Amino acid sequence: MQGNAHLKCINPQCGIEYPIEYTSVQCEKGHLLDVKYKNKPSPELKEIFYKRRNSEGSIFNESGVWRFRELLNFCQIDTEDIKECSKYLVSLDGAEGRQSKPYHMSKAADFIGISNENLWLQPEGYNPSGSFKDNGMATAVTHAKMTGAKKIVCASTGNTSASAGMFAANEGIKCDVYIPAGQIAPGKLSQAYQFGAQIVEVNGNFDDALKQSLDDAQNHDGYTVNSVNPFRIEGQKTIPFRALEYLNWEAPDWLVYPGGALGNISSCGKALMELHEWGWIKKIPRIAVINSEGASTLSDLYNGKFENEKLRWNDGNPNTELISRYYDHLDKEGLRPKTKATAIQIGRPANILKGLRALEFTNGIATTVSDSEMLDGMSVVGLNGFDCEMASGATVVGIKKLISEGIIKKDDVVVGILTGRQKDAMIPVDYHRNSENKFAIPPKN
């Protein structure tokens, strides 16, 4: 199997290739990278994946990520040899992705205005650190280990730092978390502290913290685990894999995600491109990205709300100058991303180009919802006995909005991803104390 996997620049005009051990997150011209596989996994693996749900004592079968290991075999190992798996694959005792699958949630379906049979919501908050990040962190830390890294590095104010800290602690490696000094409520970092990560405060904003974390990783033997890392994208492919497997590999009409740094839709797009190329699926589901109104970079650019030009992947020739002018415009006007859903409070989505590629392949769309709508979405999920964070509420109200606009049809099958668990205790408390909120159940006295 040696030589089956390598890295390749996503820009078709550049396309530089690197060996799989390469640790920079960009090609030498600054473009993002993809993990590429030469072999074509046989659809007969579907049967093996199904059988592994009876784990027979193997944590790599129990894991919702490594159960699909043949479809992300960048370690190029014999995946049936459990000893070899444990030498390479990083897993939190099989817990990543283990509890994630699509569920029907009837109260959410009623609220959205779709039949309960046609709506599936997949909570990724039941991952060990509480968000979808564990899917991609298991694979990124596997690659870090493969390349001999002693320290992983990220810029994060929440879920990424929790996931990175957790895996680092479990693997006995160091973890540095870069944050903008004085701008982050300490509570958001409580998991990173708990897992023994080193917090590094940087003067400036989040973009400055990310830049310094990337510089420090490059210059001081650190390994970057933000979603610009192509191995993060590999693990996150298992989110749509689990949804599709649950639907017997019958593709739904829509896959709906909240939009932040756009790593999730990038990985969903890559998963669908590969499955289609390998002949595993015929139909290609459409991806819908739901931005917050206060952090709507993708939706603005994709829908032509800036300079009247609709930004597209354009077969590998996206108008990157339009993106630069948009960012200059944000800077000049002092516009900063602003939403209470901090998980998607991102003005410069690091994976925007991969995201555009995913939207082109899937005939996807992007739209926005307000903070108060997201809170309703989050709350109606809660009334079904599932716990999700505010950003995940965007998925629910995004589907509702797209149905009311006639873009999603009422008889379409829709899978929505709920990205994380509630980590800000006061958000639901404040919501329910205000009787004007749609689903509020205020305290009695």
> In the complex, which residues of this chain contact Zn ion (CB under 5 A)?
9, 11, 14, 27, 29, 31
Shortest spacing between CB 61 and Zn ion, in angstroms: 37
Shortest spacing between CB 230 and Zn ion, in angstroms: 12
Separation of first and last alpha carbons in the chain = 67
Backbone angles phi, psi at 67, to 5 degrees: -60, -30
Shortest spacing between CB 13 and Zn ion, in angstroms: 8
Beta-bridged to residue 35, according to DSSP, are 7
Shortest spacing between CB 231 and Zn ion, in angstroms: 18
Nearer to Zn ion, 14 or 273 (CB): 14
Pure H helices in 71-158: 82-88, 106-112, 133-146
Shortest spacing between CB 32 and Zn ion, in angstroms: 8
DSSP assignment of 370-433 equals -HHHHHHHHHHHHTTT----HHHHHHHHHHHHHHHTTSS-TTS-EEEEE-B----THHHHHHHH
Six-digit token string for 86: 């444990």
Nearer to Zn ion, 9 or 95 (CB): 9
Beta-bridged to residue 200, according to DSSP, are 178
Nearer to Zn ion, 130 or 230 (CB): 230
Six-digit token string for 203: 């003067």
Nearer to Zn ion, 15 or 304 (CB): 15
Q: To 10 degrees, the CA torsion angle through 136, 140, 142, 147?
A: 170
Helix (H) / strand (E) element for 34: namely strand 33-37
Nearer to Zn ion, 156 or 266 (CB): 266
Nearer to Zn ion, 15 or 279 (CB): 15
Q: Are strands 17-19 and 5-9 parallel, antiparallel or unpaired?
A: antiparallel
Shortest spacing between CB 15 and Zn ion, in angstroms: 7
Nearer to Zn ion, 31 or 107 (CB): 31
- Which residue, 25, 38, 262, 36, is CA-closest to 144? 25
Shortest spacing between CB 9 and Zn ion, in angstroms: 3
The answer to whether 135 and 127 have CB atoms below 8 angstroms apart is yes
Shortest spacing between CB 320 and Zn ion, in angstroms: 12
Nearer to Zn ion, 32 or 418 (CB): 32
Q: Who's near 91: CB < 8 A, 6+ residues apart?
A: 59, 60, 63, 65, 66, 138
